[in-house]
Amino acid sequence: MSKKRKSFSADFKAKLVLEVLEGEKTINEIASKYEVLPVSLKNWKKQFLENMSLAFDKSTVVKEYKDEIEELKKSKDSIAKKLGETIVEKDFLVEKLVSLASSKERKTLLNTKLNLSMNQQCKLLQINKSSLYYTAKKPFGTGKEIKLLDAINNIYSDFPSYGYRRIHSQLLRDGYNVGKKLVKKAMKYMGIEALYPKPKTTTANKEHYKYPYLLKDFRNDAGQVVIDRVNKVWSTDITYIKLEKGFVYLAAIIDWHSKKILSWKLSNTMDITLVTTVLKEALMLYPKPEIFNTDQGSQYTAKAHVNILKKHDIKISMDGVGRATDNICIERFWRSIKYEEIYLNEYKNMKVLNRAIKKYMDSYNSKRLHSAIGYKTPNEVYYDYINNLGFRGGKLLQSVS
């Protein structure tokens, strides 16, 4: 068993060295007295004699310490400067790395073999450590969800023109308890949508003059256009209808106040003749309006159409570019006829479609109650106003039931 090495203080060593220098006892006697090794006494004496002069020349010691401290200070300043430069460079490189590489790319730089903890690597690369262990849930990965995808795919294969609403309805018929949002999400996940061409009904002609929108003067505090009487503003537009083979176009003119459809026409082409025919028919059947509102389509900006309005001293108003809401009255009618008639039926040809639209127009004007006019029919509102004018000397028109 090894002995523990003793440690002696400077005062103890000095005391023994002075006793040795007195010369009254031998080194062995002093070593035996104080239980130290004789060789230790010899070394302490030698060390004492070599450094004796320092007791009388303190400046030398102080100078050596000052020089050492100054050297250490310079070294410390140099290290601090280098460390500061390194920190600035590190921050610059990290900022550039983050801006140039995505989080996913930065994750590829992580290295478990480096003598640097993952926490520190994530901190330097500005990566959220929890993202290393997060596994995203695969959408539509369960057996039930895959079965739903298969069902949607089968329906879509048979009816590629079906949108998510019709596919949802078919799924309900097939016994699936799903919502429309889930069907829409599934179709987006599968990358499918209803296949049908979408014709553009508004094509502007840069050479034609575009008239300002005049109906903004009739907006209420809520921003809604409010027209207080019939024949003050008429509005017109064109929409398309899908047949088994191709598309046809429906143009109509509506009285903004009464919501009455004044004239309409179905055509297999979208040209100037379509809009001028509808306009001429409306002016022949009813008193002219003060303002006639359209979009900026080339059919409505063409001279043939504009000249008819000018001939009758009718003010021309046109929607702003891309502002379908400026012509909201006719747009809402398109929604009504499509949801109440067109989307519910299929038409083999124009002849069948024409009969269906005529029947709907008659019902819309004379029987369908309209919430915007106090749940009256458009004919009631229109002809009541015209007949009241007649009692005051205006032209009396026959009331329509």
pLDDT digits (tens, 9 = 90+) for 311-364: 999 999 987 766 667 788 888 898 889 888 888 888 888 899 999 999 999 999
Give per-residue pLDDT as tens, 243-295. 776 778 899 999 999 999 999 999 887 788 889 999 999 999 999 999 999 98
Any domain includes 182: yes
Q: DSSP secondary structure string, 184-229?
A: HHHHHHHT--------------TTS------GGGGB-TTS-B---S
Q: Is the pLDDT of residue 205 over 70?
A: no
290 in a structural domain: yes
For residue 397, tell me if it sits in a domain: no
The distance from CA 279 to its chain's CA centroid, rounded to whole angstroms, is 43
Predicted pLDDT of residue 230: 93
d(CA 63, CA 19): 32
- The answer as to whether 401 is a domain residue is no
| Pairing assessment for the beta strands 247-255 and 315-318 based on DSSP bridges | unpaired
Which residue in the block uniquely carries the two structure tokens 């450590």? 129
Same domain, yes or no: 186 and 279: no
255 and 377 housed in the same domain = yes
Residue 210 forms part of a structural domain: no
Say whether both 351 and 241 belong to one domain: yes
In a domain, residue 89? The reply is yes
Domain tally for the chain?
Answer: 4
Same domain? 242 vs 373: yes
Task: Give every strand in the sheet of 291-294, ordered side by side.
Answer: 261-267, 247-255, 233-242, 291-294, 315-318
- Domain boundaries, position 43: 10-50
Compute CA distances 330 → 256, 257, 260, 317, 364, whole Å.
8, 11, 10, 14, 13
Question: Does residue 229 sit in the same domain as residue 284?
Answer: yes
Per-residue model confidence (pLDDT) at position 399: 39
